[in-house]
Structure 1
């Protein structure tokens, strides 16, 4: 009887959580619905969740082949997001490996100084970064954004360090006995064992860079260099009254985020389960 009561309560809790999550998904569902409608049907009340007349192909054509170069904005966002994410994973994992597994004088002090820099708001460094990029002749270039993005990684260094600290040092000792150097230990032992946390870092950083509006707005002035967030503003100006096209552009903008999460979610869930077992 007790087990049956527990099963019933579990089903009820799951049902309530499902209904509660549906409330948060309604805006996304409406966006997907509006992306396939004619403009005159978008604001019809009551809402037509399934369009009576589909205009999906025309909206798709208007977004990708219209007057606003959405394809170019898409390419720029992919270029920036992938490059900065991969560089972040590389630099942060190397730093975390050094702070966790290597013994050198001043290690703890250096890490404490690094963490203390997290209290500095990013907004307070906008002017110094602007002057630095102007001095380096990297203002209004993707290289300048990449340079800033790949080295603003203190949080991820801390996250990776905490995970790598749980990797037993016996693995590294055994590798040393086999004649492995630090590079080989990093590439063949640390990185494979850190896949769950690396996937988490990749998802978070990719989303941050993809959705970044402030930095491109300040450090880019040429429209051909605009990423998706700034490109959507041009769409808003061009199609101010056509919400169907705007929603189609918004759907296209979030697709890479969904794809990245779907690809890496197994590693993230694996990391959560490992943490649960260790806890």
Structure 2
């Protein structure tokens, strides 16, 4: 009896969660449907989820072969996301290794001070960062975005929590064999941290790809725009053509959907490991 009751509630909870998930998916489904239609059919009510007349090819050509250089925005986003993600992995993992496995005076105090900066809103530091970037001569360059986005207190904390679960006997054995700290970090710690490194890489890539505020403030040249700003330019040429705008939006999120769907289990596993260990 208890088993049947348990199965019933499990099924009930699954259905409820499924319905809530469907509610969150409705905007994505509508965007996909609108991207496949002619403009005159987008605002038809009730909604035609499956278009009667398809114009996916025409909308696709308008996005990728029109006056707005959508391919350039795509390249800029890929460039920024890959570089920032790679540098974040290196810097955050080195910092986490130092705070976890290196014994130096003031280590705990330094880490506590580092964590305190997590409570400072990012918007509160925009003006100082803007002045600093102008002083360095990096304003309106990708280098400015890379410099500001490659440091992450959150990912340093996440990696540190995972590294705390790795026994120090590995390091002591490596020291006996004559390995230096960098070799220990590169050949021992990083291979053991592959699950959490994969999680950090995926999340950081998605965050960088979706970032709108930083490029908006620190970029002026349209040729440097990432895809988040580039989509805004479609409003000038296609202000009333929601079908083309939806195709542009759909094209912008396809890489993120593919990455997350393919690696979602690893993301959830890495977050759980980083959050509970140590």
TM-score interval w.r.t. the shorter chain?
A: over 0.9
Instruction: Assess, with a 3 A threshold, how the Cα gap between structure 1 residues 275 and 127 changes in structure 2: closer, same or farther.
Output: closer
Paired residues for 1:28-67 under 5 Å: 28-67=28-67
Q: Who is 1:137 aligned against?
A: 137
Q: Which is worse superposed, 113-122 or 62-71?
A: 113-122
Q: Deviations over 1:117-163 (max 9, x none)?
A: 22332222222222222222111010111111113x11211111111
Q: Deviations over 1:158-206 (max 9, x none)?
A: 1111111111112222222333222222122211222222222222222
Q: 1:188 and 1:263 mapped to 2: Cα distance?
A: 27
Instruction: Assess, with a 3 A threshold, how the Cα gap between structure 1 residues 116 and 270 changes in structure 2: closer, same or farther.
Output: closer
Q: Who is 2:228 aligned against?
A: 229
1:157 aligns with 2:156: yes
Q: Who is 1:76 aligned against?
A: 76
1:12 aligns with 2:12: yes
Q: 2:27 and 2:120 mapped to 1: Cα distance?
A: 35
1:251 aligns with 2:250: yes
Aligned residues: 278
Q: Secondary structure at the match of 1:202?
A: helix
Q: Who is 2:177 aligned against?
A: 178
Unaligned runs of 5+ in 1: none
Q: Normalising by structure 1, what TM-score?
A: 0.93
Q: CA deviation at 1:276?
A: 9.3
Question: Structure 1 residue runs of 4+, over 4 Å off?
Answer: 272-279
Instruction: Assess, with a 3 A threshold, how the Cα gap between structure 1 residues 221 and 41 changes in structure 2: closer, same or farther.
Output: same
Q: 1:215 and 1:276 mapped to 2: Cα distance?
A: 28
1:197 aligns with 2:196: yes
Q: Normalising by structure 2, what TM-score?
A: 0.93
